[in-house]
Amino acid sequence: MFGIFAEYKGLRKEVYLLLLGRMVSSMGALVFSMLALILKNKLGFTSSAVADVLLLTTLLYIPGTLISGKLCDHFNKRNLIIVFSIGTIICELICGIIPLSMSTIIIHITGSLFSLMQWPCYDGLFADMSKTKDRDRVYSLNYLLANLGGVLSPTIGGLLFINHLNISFFITAFSAMVSTLIIFLFVKDVTKEKDIELNRDSYEQSIPAKSTIWSVLRQRKIIVFYLFCLVIADMIYTQFVFLLPLNLEQLFQAKGASYFGNLMSLNAAIVGIGTPIITSIFKKRRDTEKMIIGNIFIVVALSSFIFIQGKFPLFFVTIFFLTIGEIFSSVGQKPYLSKRIPASHRGRMISIALISVRVCEALFNKLVGYLVDNYSIEFCWTVISSIGVFAIITIIIFNFYDKKIYPKLSVE
């Protein structure tokens, strides 16, 4: 059983401890994936209004994420993670204490902002503490453990949703607290690996810190193409956590939250089994090729929702194929930037990628919310599928140019 995890041997001790902290945090992340359902089922928002709130939330995240990216390029990333995590803990504790209202939502969104600000720090730190040749394994293990941590949290959140939602906020705060203690007590050495600076052929060579991220993007225009592909692919995939719960709420009312939690838990369980296997078997494939395979699986899976409405057991089959696609996409997307951006500007680039995804995701969800309120759910899934086909074609073209521009990253 544990043989499938042999792929992840030989990394730095601090990497494993950071990953452990992130996994513990994921174990208690009961609320973040249920915000749309809370707004619609508990507070009576329409689907379009839910999308408006999520869009406003995303706009509020932009300055925080930019600040986080800038800070983690200049200060100790480990300490920043601890500070941001404390902000999340305080906000979630308050949400658990006060009655559910828009005030709760505002405070929770603030806590989510602190949580989001940790991401550039984590991703930058993982890259700093791993050699280029180990980068795929590190990001794959990060993705794996985060999902293993979340195997039961959606189901527990769904069970607490109807009568004990406040307990979900307390569990979220407690898990963040334990995660913070692990990092504070045990992660001490965060010195960078030296292989990047010693390898003069590396695309990660640091450049003067005063150079702006925009100057880097002007020199490496293919990264802008990558961001476009990333945004289109994410807009499609994110319907798993936006349109699908709204679909289930239409079909099963309040029970939709519990059913969605079951699907999320299956998703996390498949990730736990499939990620090390796919990482090992496809380790000689380029990041961009994994992205193509992943998006084909995702689009096929989401297209099936057009035909299986009301047949809930078939939703589990669809989630299986969607999760396989998610694994391929994640193990391709996560390490992509870390290999192609100067280490000195990595945090800022990660934050820009994160903002691009979040803003476009929220704008697209606004459109989807309008479609849900005015058209059939089958029509909504048809629109998603059509855009998904466009995304696949775009990534295939992007893969062709990436091979030409970054030939040294072709696997021997």
Domain ranges for the chain, please list them.
Answer: 12-189+219-406
- With pLDDT > 70 as the criterion, what percentage of the chain qualifies? 89
Contact 350, 120 (CB under 8 A): yes
Poorest-pLDDT segment among 144-148, 207-211, 405-409: 207-211
What is the band of 210 on the pLDDT scale with cuts at 50, 70, 90?
Answer: low
Which residue from 336, 73, 117, 405 is spatially nearest to 212, judged by alpha carbons?
73
Nearest to residue 228, comparing CAs of 240, 243, 217, 241? 217
User: Rg (Cα) of the chain, in Å, rounded?
Assistant: 20
Q: In the Cβ-directed half-sphere of 95, how many Cα atoms lie within 13 Å?
A: 32
Task: Determine how many CB atoms are found less than 10 A away from the CB of residue 123.
Answer: 27
pLDDT in tens, 356-388: 888 888 788 888 888 988 889 899 999 999 999
Domain 12-189+219-406: CATH superfamily is: MFS general substrate transporter like domains (1.20.1250.20)
Confidence of residue 231 (pLDDT cuts 50, 70, 90): very high
Characterize 290-316 residue by residue with b for buried, 16 or more Cβ atoms within 10 angstroms of its Cβ, and e for exposed: bbbbbbbbbbbbbbbbbeebeeeeebe
Whether 68 shows a pLDDT value over 90: the answer reads no
Helix-, strand-, coil-residue percentages of the chain, each rounded to 5: 80, 0, 20
pLDDT band at 405 (very low <50, low <70, confident <90, very high): confident
Instruction: Provide the CA 201 distance to its chain's centre, in angstroms.
Output: 30
Which amino acid is located at 198 in the chain?
L
Tell me the C-alpha distance between 192 and 203, whole Å. 16
Do 299 and 385 form a contact (C-beta atoms < 8 A)?
yes
Q: In the prediction, which pLDDT does 321 show?
A: 94
- pLDDT, one tens digit per residue, over 384-398 is 999 999 999 999 999
Using CA atoms, how far apart are residues 76 and 24, in angstroms rounded to an integer? Answer: 22
Q: Give the single-character DSSP code of 5.
A: G
